[in-house]
Copies of this chain bind each other. A is one copy, B any other.
Amino acid sequence: MKKLINAVENVLSESLDGFAAAHADIVTLGDERKFVQRRSLKKGKVALVSGGGSGHEPLHAGFVGHGMLDAACPGQVFTSPTPDQMVAAAQAVDTGGGVLFIVKNYEGDVMNFAMGAEMAADMGVAKVATVITDDDVAVEKSTYSIGRRGVAGTMIVERLVGAAAEQGRDLAALESYGKDVNARTRSMGVALTSCTVPAAGKPTFTLGEDEMEMGVGIHGEPGRRRVKLAEADAIAAEMMGAILDDLAPKAGQQVLLLVNGFGGTPAMELYLMCNAARRILAGRKLLAARCLVGSYVTSLEMAGCSLTVSLVEDADLALWDQPVHTAALRWGM
């Protein structure tokens, strides 16, 4: 295992310490490193809390800040955070408007966030609502999920709902909007290599020199099929085909396109995939109104990428363009 780490058991804590120090203008670290929270909270605003296993950075801690999350609860690598983390985070960031949990659809996360919500309600900590993301069209059921997996589309939900929260919308409205954005968002990924979880010390899966995993999950879970490595255009065609067949947009529809690297993919390849995906959108008479390219929802050092399409209207784009100030996404301020 080749990693820039010290003792395996300290990877998360040392990384969180580095993150909090590097972005001390934006975030602070909660007690016992249970959560990362926004340095300045806005009185009465609904607080957005997300989290999940680590190893997907910058998701979620990198999206804590103005216009996105109020707190993120990091679990160990590819392991759900525990309910006490969510309770502590909710307590720290609720300023009276209630708390919205944004949770990727994996059994462990869904269960632990639900327990956290229940505990927070029982303890009178905060009123909590939950949005579960399940944007991955690759498979209907997976290693860690009942139903579709929540993957890169989660950051689009976090961003749009985060912008709406800054405008003062209430908890019910944000819950409804989050579910709506999730329902209009689809993703699919491909892996060219595996990743290695530090505590495991060996690759999560193995791929032959000429193989790729089409429809891979963000923990290296199996996708639709293992196939021979193909050209970028063919890969983009299969992923965009699955996404667009599922979304079934009308010609002329505006979309937001996210080309997401899994951690080990050069920017050159991501922009090349962006070019391929945009040509497919144009061929279907769809307008890429906004395009985000980068490694935002990763699987440690896995090589590969995912494509995400969200159907958007002018009102969504207006929210997208509002100021955002997080470690990983920043504009307008």
Contacts and interface: CB of A to CB of B under 8 A. Distances in A.
Interface of A: 2-7, 11-12, 14-19, 21-22, 54-55, 57-58, 62, 77, 190, 192-193, 209, 212, 229, 231-233, 235, 259, 263-276, 278, 288, 291-293, 295, 298, 300-301, 303-305, 325, 330-333
Given A193-B2, A231-B5, A232-B4, A268 B22 contact: no
Contacts of A231: 5-7
Given A4-B269, A267-B57, A269-B5, A18 B298 contact: no
A2 B192 contact: yes
B22 A274 contact: yes
A90 B259 CA distance: 32
Given A5-B231, A12-B268, A57-B271, 15 more contacts: A3-B192, A4-B232, A4-B265, A18-B270, A18-B271, A18-B276, A18-B278, A19-B274, A55-B268, A57-B266, A264-B264, A264-B303, A295-B295, A301-B303, A332-B333
A168 to B, nearest CB: 24
22 contacts: A2-B193, A2-B209, A3-B269, A5-B232, A6-B231, A6-B272, A14-B275, A15-B268, A16-B271, A18-B274, A18-B293, A19-B293, A21-B291, A22-B293, A57-B266, A62-B267, A77-B268, A264-B303, A267-B295, A267-B298, A295-B295, A301-B303
A14 B272 contact: yes
Contacts of A2: 192-193, 209, 212, 229, 303
Contacts of A274: 18-19, 21-22
Contacts of A291: 21-22
Contacts of A190: 4
A330 B330 CA distance: 6
Nearest to A24: B291
B15 A298 contact: no
Nearest to A292: B22
B267 A58 contact: yes
A72 B235 CA distance: 30
Contacts of A333: 331-332
Nearest to A59: B267
Contact of A275 (B3, B15, B298, B304): B15
A55 B268 CA distance: 7
- Among A4, A271, A291, which residue has the most Cβ atoms of chain B within 10 A? A4
A200 to B, nearest CB: 15
Contacts of A235: 4
A11 B267 contact: no
Contacts of A6: 231-233, 272, 276
Nearest to A190: B4
A19 B267 CA distance: 9
A97 B209 CA distance: 53
Given A2-B193, A233-B6, A11 B268 contact: yes
Given A17-B275, A18-B275, A266 B332 contact: no
Contacts of A300: 266, 268
A324 to B, nearest CB: 10
